[in-house]
Structure 1
Amino acid sequence: MRHLLLVGAGHAHAQVLLEWARAPLAGVEVTVVSPGAFAPYSGMVPGWLAGVYRFDEIGIDFAALARAAGARFVAGEVVALDAARREVTLADGARLGYDVLSLNIGSTLRPPPIDGATVLPLRPLARLREGYDAVLAELATTDRPLAVTAVGGGAAGVESVLAVVARLRAQRPHRPIAARLVTRSADLLPGMAPGAARRVRAALGRAGVRIECGTAFDPATVAPGQLVLWASGAQAHAWPAASALACDTAGFVRIDHHLRSVSHPEVHAVGDCAAWVPPLPKAGVYAVRMGPILVHNLRAALGAGALRTYAPQHRYLALLATADGRAVAAWGRWSVEGAWAWRWKDRIDRRFVRRFTHAAGA
């Protein structure tokens, strides 16, 4: 019996389990490891922050999906990898061996401590709920003025500040809220269509969010009692770089065109935790597109078929919710916005999650 170990409850691993449920590979035992069984889908997180969705609507039950695939689910956090022994160690000291390993662990954020402020990092998503629920509960019974600062001018920073401000205003309409977005970048949404940045800038203006581009965040500008949404650049988890895996200077796992570690071909890595040359944006759409290639190549690594090559798309559709019943759509140099774009985004996101919910029998 060979052992396939999936570490992380990311979009690509959801696709692996979905395909395994449809066509399991004989003689292969599959184990999935993740700190939590419920994995939020990144595309729907802004809608949840804004109060459009319940939390149980925006994610995938990996424990149920694993059962449907005949796999074992282990609730635990990997803290070390011994590539020579083909073994991972969990936070509780348990060890799991593997013949083939796949990493879909995403990225993380490490905000600086800010005295007296409530800091919510937007990654990892699985830990965001507890912090946000606490904020909502604390602010549910007061009309005291509130200041919100978002750090990061990418999609996560823009969508989160719009969503959170909309939710807090709906919760207590008479509470004064001052909001700002701080980013080192010269403009919002670097790498996206200029028109998308203009449209998002207008949405932030309508919401009363002050924009500070080309500005380094200074913790001294945050007074006690303020809320900080930390959505700066993605950071790598520490343990892959501490192993023997080849990683880039930021700690992300270097992979080849078959999504395998360049130093240990029995290890695969996809999504935000992987380093591609040239670098890819840390966007969930890449993990989704890597999914089918990962499924095929994991089977090949286990003796069923030949490897396939992954070729990243040059352009991808970005749909950014503006928390006012509208969304901005961007594709290459093209962009547009409207209520129809929000309905389109909502339909795409719900359909994506529904694929896995139905497979898990939920």
Structure 2
Amino acid sequence: MADRGVDRRKRVVLLGGGHAHVEVVRRLQGQGARVEIILVSPSRYAPYSGMLPGYIAGRYTFEDFNIDLQALCQRSNTTFHEGMAIGIDPETHRVRLADDTWLDYDVLSLDIGSTPSLPDGVSGGVAVKPIASFTARLDQLDHLAHKSENRLRLAVVGQGIAGIEVAFALRKRLDELISRDGRANGGVELHLVGRGPRLLPERSEHARKLVSEALLDQDIAHHPGFDVVALEGKTLVAADGRRLAVDEVVWTTSSGAPAWLRQTGLALDADGFVRVDAGLRSLSHPEIFAAGDVAALEDPRPKAGVFAVRAGPVLAENIRRTLCGKSLMRYRPQRAWLVLISLANGRTIADKWGLAASGRWITIWKHWTDSRFLRRFVK
């Protein structure tokens, strides 16, 4: 690496190509010769999570919902480095990459997402996260549907927004795939499994009612209170002894923090996420920032892309202010946020302030807002 004593430019290293960091790249491109910006990501392409259900359902292509990080960096005077971080030495201000090289930084920011959090001792199945590599795992489900000679039994574990949207999207995708194959193999038997007693515990009663009606309409069986403790071959086992026969399991359960963060010396919360202050700055190391799923906010919020998108402009400004020695601005995550739940049948549910509605017009509006977000980062 370059000798930082000779290179007088400040170096900002952005780990991860998440929703907050793509906005940072776009906003910091005018720093010029004073600052060197490096974006490190294990993949050249960064998916927009809000459009993933549409991709699964077949509405969007890979190009439609992914940001080309290398192209974005080229347009924004940023260096793109394809690689994965596996460690941070905050005392020497260096990041360790998977190829065993080290990258020096003056300011470091983490937007590396989260990892699947499966029940203790449970392995197997298909995890939705990390989303950047889910498209390859989705091919596994397609292959399973192609080769299945009997009715395909599929369980989606997680009855939050992600699980619900994935279940509806898979219903549409796999039904159409089997129909195109022209095989009368009984189709797909789809189950939505959740630990808690009800769907969408943080959303309105009306939204839960609309989702429940859609599950019945699309023949998706719902199993609340099914706390998965084991996957024995092709059987899901619940803590209360219930058993569910499946051919494959898709995990959309709660997010976990990358394990290597526990070796960094950064202040972390009980789940291993980076604790940050109101300016998105590490509580233990002021030259380090974090946003998106990997950040543990002072006022906690769900691990959802909407908060990373809103954090992007604040993160960019606070990195700029840090380089100039100025005080930071405050990130104020919204207390009430709009949730859009795609039903993959042309309709979408909108829920906010305890009110919910469903319609095709919401799908059209969602497509417009999602596409507008993506257009910020492409030519």
TM-score normalised by the chain length of structure 1: 0.94
Tell me how far 1:209 sits from its aligned partner. Answer: 1.0
Return the match for 2:272 from 228, 251, 254.
251
**What residue identity is the alignment partner of 1:206?**
D
Q: Does 1:294 align with 2:315?
A: yes
When the two chains are superposed, the root-mean-square deviation of aligned CA atoms in Å is 1.7
Tell me how far 1:30 sits from its aligned partner. Answer: 0.5
Q: Does 1:219 align with 2:225?
A: no
- Distance in 2, matches of 1:299 and 1:305, equals 9
Tell me how far 1:202 sits from its aligned partner. Answer: 1.2
Q: Note the alpha carbon deviations across 1:129-154, whole angstroms, 9 max, x for none.
A: 11112321343355531011011111
**What residue identity is the alignment partner of 2:231?**
P
- Distance in 2, matches of 1:233 and 1:18, equals 30
- Distance in 2, matches of 1:237 and 1:104, equals 11
Aligned residue in 1 for 2:216: 205
Aligned residue in 1 for 2:332: 311
Which 10-residue stretch deviates more, 348-357 or 224-233?
224-233
Q: Cα gap change, 1:225/1:334 in structure 2, threshold over 3 Å: closer, same or farther?
A: closer
**What residue identity is the alignment partner of 1:272?**
D
Tell me how far 1:351 sits from its aligned partner. Answer: 1.0
Q: Does 1:10 align with 2:31?
A: no
Q: Is the 8 A contact 1:111 1:121 kept in 2?
A: no
Tell me how far 1:246 sits from its aligned partner. Answer: 0.1
Matches within 5 A, 1:9-158: 9-21=17-29, 23-111=30-118, 119-140=125-146, 142-158=148-164
Tell me how far 1:277 sits from its aligned partner. Answer: 2.5
Aligned residue in 1 for 2:204: 193
Question: Matched residue of 2:378: which SS?
Answer: helix
- Distance in 2, matches of 1:65 and 1:161, equals 32
Tell me how far 1:52 sits from its aligned partner. Answer: 0.8
Tell me how far 1:278 sits from its aligned partner. Answer: 3.1
Aligned residue in 1 for 2:374: 353
Q: Note the alpha carbon deviations across 1:74-104, whole angstroms, 9 max, x for none.
A: 1111111111111111111011110000000
Tell me how far 1:8 sits from its aligned partner. Answer: 0.4
- Distance in 2, matches of 1:240 and 1:149, equals 31
Tell me how far 1:204 sits from its aligned partner. Answer: 1.2
Q: Is the 8 A contact 2:278 2:298 kept in 1?
A: no
Matches within 5 A, 1:224-239: 226-239=247-260
Percent identity of paired positions between Structure 1 and Structure 2: 37
- Distance in 1, matches of 2:71 and 2:157, equals 35
Q: Is the 8 A contact 1:154 1:188 kept in 2?
A: yes
Aligned residue in 1 for 2:241: none
Aligned residue in 2 for 1:178: 189
Matches within 5 A, 1:316-335: 316-335=337-356
Report how many residues are paired: 355
Q: Note the alpha carbon deviations across 1:226-252, whole angstroms, 9 max, x for none.
A: 121100111111122221100000000
Q: Is the 8 A contact 1:146 1:177 kept in 2?
A: yes
Extract unaligned runs of 5+ from structure 1.
Answer: none
Aligned residue in 2 for 1:281: 302
Question: Matched residue of 1:171: which SS?
Answer: helix
Q: Is the 8 A contact 2:145 2:152 kept in 1?
A: no
- Distance in 1, matches of 2:331 and 2:48, equals 23
- Distance in 2, matches of 1:327 and 1:225, equals 28
- Distance in 2, matches of 1:84 and 1:20, equals 26
- Distance in 1, matches of 2:284 and 2:327, equals 20
Aligned residue in 1 for 2:287: 266
Tell me how far 1:110 sits from its aligned partner. Answer: 4.2
Extract unaligned runs of 5+ from structure 2.
Answer: 1-8, 237-243
Which 10-residue stretch deviates more, 60-69 or 173-182?
173-182
